[in-house]
């Protein structure tokens, strides 16, 4: 992309800035050319050691986000239904006073907090979150984690003792990759930070290997795979347990160097014995012979890995699926081995015994439905009922942090009803969107190009060890506050209102510098030069730290230094799978989500660059299903479920498995009070007006957004 030079910038020097695109997990390096306050071009950085010059269409939208006239620059307060700009001092003081009043009247837990996906892309929120949590003092914390990757983190915690000790596919060295319910060509990797994923997948084929995709839709990734197999939504656990059963039955189990470090292995054969390939075939639609062959290929390929993502996580057996994937990789000697699944060695936040944030599970339960917490957060599926159900501990006020749960959480209309009845609501956000329109105050932080950044979370999940610090591209506007400054100042005022001590933290770059110097490549290491913030600033393209290497055993965070293949809930959930299989009534179809490389999340729909071109919001159905229902391609249809009903346009697609429909995530912006001028012009409906907050993974509490029974009729 390039821009015509604004005459007002004609005398300003042209500068080049190197940083990461923060719009998805791939953290691709970008080169941004500016003149004055104008962006002239955004291109891939060929000298970035990780992304190697690759960018996707989202990177150029960094300009749209920075320049968006809809973006809030100052705090706003709702007065008689209208938004008014106010000073930071007034906003922070009044918000702190209102929160303290609600908690004083109704108890600390009368406040609910929801944190959205963008928080993990802004390191100030990560480094300073604990300050705000302490100042708020509520147990009612929620986040997008339980709408996405909670099963991954729970399984990592139970297996390895730390929720972020997650083995990552060593995609650059594997010869066989089984991808279940993942579409990395659209996500750019997820729980697997992998820029330029298309070429990395093709490289598997070029070196004589193969990759196989299991998905109810022939996705963009499936289209270039060696094999694609349709699978009935929600049945993945049958497939995975059948693969484990084949490994035991055919004597293919080999845990390699992990063998003496496992607990629970002896109990596994009896648990999976009944899940034969023929039983799995009945439930999944994948032939028994194919399941047996895939199990043998995984076991007999020295460098192989199984990877499963959103499709297997956001369903009623999401945690069981992620448990089974870890078991498969361990039993085939593909964990902590090159070409298999390895844990990343990040420069900051290196996970080892003693690293903070290991997690905890079921320390307390939600008030209404009794769902377990994980790391101090309740599943977002219970947020609406915690607001709407009267009684002691009822949520009376909400704070949202860069989140839009009305579009991203199940049963969005019920959540909308809940937000509209709150006594008080404040949002830390840059937009007036479907959720924040219900707030009384909105506190907008600076955006990416106005602040520095370090990809704290995604270096922990990367397929290669690298590190990079991002300097701001532009000076922030006078009076603007960074996210961590808002958190610090609000926390201080809450401390004053509540008469409690709140210890504030230094700027995030100071904390990153401390982490770098104390980390595995820091001042006590043999790395040359020892890493520090200044070293990263001197290397703006980033520093390559090498491929992933075996290191799991010395980094296990379990008390007994063992890998725990079983915990008490797993046999219970396996029994639940065998006795409580979902059934589809006559005339029902199963709903799944869909993402596109241009629109990972709802807040990207206000960029012209990302929404232009061919519409991507339609409902996809197989032609045979359309014919059976006497519906024409392109016709308006009504989709109904137990949660609600929507009307949208249908599009015939041979890429869909018969009996399955797909509606993309994050649309449905045409609502009163939403101030997103481009997004509000787009068609499409909110998929989560159809999902049911009463349906969730019993093991983890994660939302079940896939495999939802629906009916489709002509409008």
What pLDDT is attached to residue 582?
A: 64
Q: Report how far residue 377's alpha carbon sits from residue 577's, in angstroms, rounded to the nearest whole number.
A: 26
Q: The domain 583-714: what is its CATH number?
A: 2.40.40.20
Strands 589-592 and 660-662: what pairing? parallel
Q: For the residues 676-698, what does the mean pLDDT come to? A: 95
Q: Say what the alpha-carbon torsion angle 496, 497, 503, 507 is, to the nearest 10 degrees.
A: -90
Give the confidence band of 578 by pLDDT, cuts at 50, 70, 90: confident
What pLDDT is attached to residue 600?
A: 73
Q: For the residues 572-580, what does the mean pLDDT come to? A: 92
CA distances to 50, 158, 344, 459, 561 from 349, in Å = 19, 19, 10, 9, 20
Question: For residues 350 and 665, which has the higher predicted lDDT (pLDDT)?
Answer: 350
What pLDDT is attached to residue 242?
A: 98
Q: Say what the alpha-carbon torsion angle 478, 484, 486, 488 is, to the nearest 10 degrees.
A: -120
Give the confidence band of 599 by pLDDT, cuts at 50, 70, 90: confident
* Token pair listed for 273: 């014995």
Q: Report how far residue 554's alpha carbon sits from residue 603's, in angstroms, rounded to the nearest whole number.
A: 41
Give the confidence band of 590 by pLDDT, cuts at 50, 70, 90: very high
Q: For the residues 506-535, what does the mean pLDDT come to? A: 98
Q: Report how far residue 598's alpha carbon sits from residue 611's, in angstroms, rounded to the nearest whole number.
A: 7
Fold identical between 157-347+559-575 and 583-714?
Answer: no
Quickly tell me which residue has 């709702």 as its tokens. 78
Share of the chain above pLDDT 90, in %: 95
Residue 603 scores a pLDDT above 80 = no
CA distances to 98, 319, 389, 481 from 74, in Å = 19, 41, 34, 9
pTM recorded for the entire structure:
0.97
Q: Report how far residue 84's alpha carbon sits from residue 199's, in angstroms, rounded to the nearest whole number.
A: 49
If one counts every other C-beta atom within 10 angstroms of the C-beta of residue 89, the result is: 11
Q: Are 278 and 290 in contact (CB under 8 A)?
A: no
What pLDDT is attached to residue 583?
A: 76
Q: For the residues 156-177, what does the mean pLDDT come to? A: 98
Residue 360 scores a pLDDT above 90 = yes
Q: The domain 7-67: what is its CATH number?
A: 3.30.200.210
3-state secondary structure of 301: coil
Strands 645-652 and 619-621: what pairing? parallel
Nearest to 143 by CA among 383, 310, 312: 383
Q: Report how far residue 481's alpha carbon sits from residue 235's, in angstroms, rounded to the nearest whole number.
A: 47
Q: Report how far residue 312's alpha carbon sits from residue 321's, in angstroms, rounded to the nearest whole number.
A: 6
What pLDDT is attached to residue 3?
A: 58
Q: Are 171 and 463 in contact (CB under 8 A)?
A: yes
Give the confidence band of 197 by pLDDT, cuts at 50, 70, 90: very high
**Topology at the third CATH level for domain 157-347+559-575:** Dimethylsulfoxide Reductase; domain 2 (3.40.228)
> What does 635-684 look like in DSSP terms, one character per residue?
-EEEEE-SS-EEEEEEEE-TTBPTTEEE--TT-----TT---TTGGG---
Share of the chain above pLDDT 70, in %: 99
Give the confidence band of 69 by pLDDT, cuts at 50, 70, 90: very high
What pLDDT is attached to residue 8?
A: 80
Per-residue burial over 204-222, b = 16 or more CB atoms within 10 Å of its CB, e = otherwise: beeeebbbbbbbbbbbbbb
What pLDDT is attached to residue 604?
A: 86
CA distances to 238, 463, 597, 663 from 220, in Å = 25, 21, 10, 16
What pLDDT is attached to residue 4?
A: 67
Residue 6 scores a pLDDT above 80 = no
Q: For the residues 554-564, what does the mean pLDDT come to? A: 98
CA distances to 32, 34, 59, 125 from 2, in Å = 10, 10, 13, 32
Report the chain's terminal Cα–Cα distance, integer Å.
41
Q: Are 610 and 604 in contact (CB under 8 A)?
A: yes
Residue 487 belongs to what H/E stretch?
helix 483-498
DSSP state, 393? T
Mean pLDDT of the chain: 96
Q: Report how far residue 442's alpha carbon sits from residue 76's, in angstroms, rounded to the nearest whole number.
A: 5
Q: Where are the domains of the chain?
A: 7-67, 157-347+559-575, 509-539, 583-714
Task: Identify the top-confidence range among 55-59, 440-444, 665-669.
Answer: 440-444
**243-252, 580-589, 685-694, 701-710: which has the minimum mean pLDDT?**
580-589
Residue 181 scores a pLDDT above 60 = yes
Give the confidence band of 71 by pLDDT, cuts at 50, 70, 90: very high
């Amino acid at each position: 992309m390039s821009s015509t030079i604004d005459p007002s910038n004609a005398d300003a020097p042209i500068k080049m800035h190197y940083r990461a695109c923060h719009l998805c997990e791939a953290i691709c390096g970008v080169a941004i050319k500016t003149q004055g306050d104008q962006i002239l071009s955004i291109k891939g950085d060929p000298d970035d050691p990780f992304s190697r010059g690759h960018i996707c269409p989202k990177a150029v939208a960094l300009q749209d986000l920075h320049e968006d006239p809809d973006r809030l620059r100052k705090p706003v307060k709702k007065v008689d239904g209208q938004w008014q700009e106010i000073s930071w001092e007034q906003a922070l003081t009044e918000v702190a006073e209102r929160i303290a009043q609600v908690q004083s009247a109704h108890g600390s837990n009368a406040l609910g907090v929801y944190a959205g996906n963008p928080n993990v892309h802004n390191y100030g929120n990560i480094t300073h979150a604990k300050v705000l949590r302490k100042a708020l003092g509520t147990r009612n914390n929620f986040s997008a984690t339980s709408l996405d990757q909670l099963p991954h983190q729970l399984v990592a915690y139970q297996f390895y003792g730390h929720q972020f000790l997650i083995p990552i596919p060593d995609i650059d060295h594997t010869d066989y990759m089984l991808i279940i319910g993942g579409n990395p060509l659209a996500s750019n990797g997820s729980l697997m930070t992998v820029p330029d994923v298309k070429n990395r997948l093709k490289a598997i084929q070029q070196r004589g290997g193969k990759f196989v995709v299991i998905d109810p839709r022939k996705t963009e990734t499936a289209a270039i795979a060696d094999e694609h197999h349709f699978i009935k939504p929600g049945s993945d656990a049958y497939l995975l347990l059948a693969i484990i059963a084949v490994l035991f039955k055919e004597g293919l189990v080999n845990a390699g160097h992990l063998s003496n470090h496992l607990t629970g292995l002896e109990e596994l054969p009896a648990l999976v014995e009944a899940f034969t390939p023929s039983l799995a075939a009945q439930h999944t639609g994948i032939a028994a012979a194919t399941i047996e062959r895939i199990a043998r290929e995984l076991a007999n390929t020295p460098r192989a890995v199984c990877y499963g993502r959103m499709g297997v996580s956001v369903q009623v057996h999401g945690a069981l699926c992620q448990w089974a994937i870890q078991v498969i990789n361990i039993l085939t000697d593909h964990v902590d081995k090159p070409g298999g699944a390895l844990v990343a060695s990040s420069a900051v936040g290196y996970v080892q015994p003693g690293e903070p944030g290991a997690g905890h599970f079921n320390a307390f339960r939600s008030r209404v439905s009794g769902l377990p917490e994980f790391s101090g957060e309740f599943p977002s599926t219970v947020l609406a009922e915690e607001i709407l159900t009267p009684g002691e501990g009822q949520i009376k006020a909400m704070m949202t942090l860069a989140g839009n749960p009305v579009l991203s959480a199940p049963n969005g209309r019920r959540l909308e009803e809940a937000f509209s009845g709150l006594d008080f609501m404040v949002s830390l956000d840059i937009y007036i969107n479907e959720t924040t329109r219900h707030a009384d105050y909105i506190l907008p932080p600076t955006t990416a190009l106005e602040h520095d950044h370090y990809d704290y979370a995604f270096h922990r999940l990367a397929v290669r060890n690298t590190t990079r610090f991002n300097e701001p591209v532009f000076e922030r506007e006078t009076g603007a506050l960074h996210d961590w400054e808002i958190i610090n100042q609000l926390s201080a005022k809450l401390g004053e209102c509540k008469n409690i001590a709140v210890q504030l933290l230094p700027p995030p770059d100071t904390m990153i510098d401390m982490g770098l110097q104390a980390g595995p490549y820091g001042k006590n290491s043999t790395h040359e030069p020892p890493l520090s913030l200044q070293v990263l600033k001197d290397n703006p393209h980033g520093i390559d730290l090498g491929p992933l290497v075996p290191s799991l055993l010395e980094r296990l965070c379990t008390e007994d230094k063992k890998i725990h293949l079983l915990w008490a809930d797993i046999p219970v959930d396996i029994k639940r799978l065998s006795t409580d299989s979902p059934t589809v009534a006559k005339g029902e179809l199963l709903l799944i989500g869909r993402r596109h490389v241009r629109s990972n999340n709802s807040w990207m729909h206000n960029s012209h660059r990302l929404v232009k071109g061919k519409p991507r919001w339609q409902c996809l159905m197989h032609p045979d299903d359309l014919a059976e229902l006497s519906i024409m391609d392109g016709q308006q249809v009504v989709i109904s479920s137990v949660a609600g009903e929507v009307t949208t346009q249908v599009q015939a697609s041979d890429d869909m498995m018969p009996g399955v429909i797909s509606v993309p995530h994050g649309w449905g912006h045409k609502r009163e009070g939403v101030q997103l001028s481009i997004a509000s012009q787009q068609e499409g409906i909110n998929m989560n007006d159809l999902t049911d907050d009463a349906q969730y993974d019993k093991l983890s509490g994660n939302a079940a957004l896939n495999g939802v029974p629906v009916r489709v009729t002509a409008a």
